[in-house]
Amino acid sequence: MNQKPENIIFRHVGDMRRLSYIALAQADQLVATDPQAAITLAADTLAAARHAGTNNFLISRLVQSALDGIVTNWIARRLPDLPPDTVSELQRRIATLPDGGDWAACFQNEKRFPESMLDQILDLVALAPASESDLTARTLRMAGLLNDGKTVSISLETTDLNFWIQTGQTRHGVRLVSVDLKRHQALLSYEGRLVQLQLEGRKLVDLDTIHVTLPEDHPLRKMLEFLPGKHPEDLPQTLFQWVTVTQEIMDYYDALIASFDDFDFANSTALYERLSLAAKTLTMDMGSLQRTAAHEKIRSAQLTAVLAAAATGKPPADVIDPITQKPFRITPTTTSNGTGYIIESEFRPSPPPPTRLVIGPEPDKR
């Protein structure tokens, strides 16, 4: 399977891709007779790409990147056929387009999925039979519960203190990590341990004594069976492991967000490699998306350069690649009308070829 972003198999990706090709095929027919209408179609397709990514979900952002690439390649191919005033209008239209989705914001939203997954696991084992933690029960107990619909407050007692605590708070060495939506249980961090507090029975249970077995028909198990290199048996086995792995994934996303725009691919790879096997089973190496973002940034710089140079009738010169910080390589091509060239970066997404834009028809193959 071709792993280019525009070929990722999601139905709405394919639909948007087909609509883009239909619009650009119509633009092809208009270039000779009505170039302004042709570039309007191209600019509108580019606008649709930008709007597709504005909800800042990864799949939508990939749609934006895919459509952006399709339109950019079309503009490059037809650029020698466009009059100077049409090129100027196209530049103006592109300059007014929204930026679209933000990659770092996508990762922030992506954190919702491990959180939701943990909520499902917590619901699955909400009142699972398990032995009460003698160690915790000797020094901590639940005294009361206040639930106003939005906020849950729990009254706790230690050997010498009585206090109320809400989600996210840490008081007297106890942190209330979370309370499930059904108000069946809470997760506490206490004396270096994660503890389940079963709210109805006021029972404290160490999480590593609660085993989690996903049903055979659970969607997560089914998904892992179809993904290469992923195996259901590598999932966490206890509730403690699920909580720990979820936090590990959240920390991974936070680290990516902090360094995403640095385009330090070695660092991104190292962040992923440091994950446990269970965490790798539940996420992916997001470095590939960072490379997609770099490819997109280069492609945008290339398009800006070739549009600016179109008025001169010559290829651009001494344009700096925003990722490698080296000049783009310009290579004239042999085409039917002799107007083509390739503007190329040394940056290579994985796998090759390098990031390049072909101006004019595809070079003649000899």
More confident residue, 240 or 137: 240
Mean per-residue pLDDT, 133-141: 78
Closest by CA position to 19, among listed 58, 71, 89, 75: 71
What is the structure's pLDDT at 335?
Answer: 63
Distance of CA 310 to the CA centre of its chain: 35
Mean per-residue pLDDT, 183-202: 86
How many angstroms separate the Cα of 34 from the Cα of each of 37, 81, 164, 253, 298?
6, 11, 72, 48, 30
Residues 232-253 pLDDT 10s: 889 898 888 898 999 999 999 9
What is the structure's pLDDT at 365?
Answer: 55
Residue 24's contacts (CB-CB under 8 Å, 6 or more residues apart) are: 41, 42, 45, 70, 71, 74
What is the structure's pLDDT at 4?
Answer: 40
What is the structure's pLDDT at 8?
Answer: 40
What is the structure's pLDDT at 337?
Answer: 59
> Which CATH class for the 126-209 domain?
mainly beta
Report field, pTM of the whole predicted structure over 0.85 = no
The structure tokens 């209008």 sit at: 89
Report the mean per-residue pLDDT for the chain: 86
Both tokens of residue 144? 């009361």
- pLDDT of residue 302 exceeding 50: yes
On whether the CB atoms of residues 306 and 317 are closer than 8 A, the answer is no
CA angle, residues 187, 190, 191, in degrees to nearest 5: 155
What is the structure's pLDDT at 5?
Answer: 38
Per-residue pLDDT band at 1 (split at 50, 70, 90): very low
On whether the CB atoms of residues 357 and 299 are closer than 8 A, the answer is yes
Determine the Cα–Cα distance for residues 307 and 79; give it in Å rounded to an integer. Answer: 8
More confident residue, 96 or 361: 96
What is the structure's pLDDT at 126?
Answer: 67
What is the structure's pLDDT at 13?
Answer: 62
Residues in the chain, how many?
A: 366
- pLDDT of residue 353 exceeding 80: no
What is the structure's pLDDT at 157?
Answer: 93
Closest by CA position to 290, among listed 306, 271, 276: 271
More confident residue, 279 or 10: 279
On whether the CB atoms of residues 299 and 355 are closer than 8 A, the answer is yes
Any idea where the domains of the chain sit in the sequence? 5-101+291-314, 111-121+217-285, 126-209
Mean per-residue pLDDT, 100-121: 89
- pLDDT of residue 87 exceeding 70: yes
What is the structure's pLDDT at 74?
Answer: 96
Residue 300's contacts (CB-CB under 8 Å, 6 or more residues apart) are: 68, 72
Determine the Cα–Cα distance for residues 19 and 45; give it in Å rounded to an integer. Answer: 9
Determine the Cα–Cα distance for residues 335 and 364; give it in Å rounded to an integer. Answer: 6
On whether the CB atoms of residues 38 and 30 are closer than 8 A, the answer is yes
On whether the CB atoms of residues 158 and 138 are closer than 8 A, the answer is no
- pLDDT of residue 14 exceeding 80: no
The CB density around residue 289, as the number of other CB atoms within 10 Å, is 22
- pLDDT of residue 136 exceeding 50: yes
Residues 33-65 pLDDT 10s: 999 999 999 999 999 999 989 999 998 899 999
Which neighbouring-strand residues pair with 327? 320
More confident residue, 134 or 293: 293
- pLDDT of residue 200 exceeding 90: no
Least confident of 104-108, 197-201, 310-314: 310-314
> Cα(first)–Cα(last) distance of the chain, in Å?
29
Per-residue pLDDT band at 223 (split at 50, 70, 90): confident
Which neighbouring-strand residues pair with 332? 341
What is the structure's pLDDT at 6?
Answer: 37
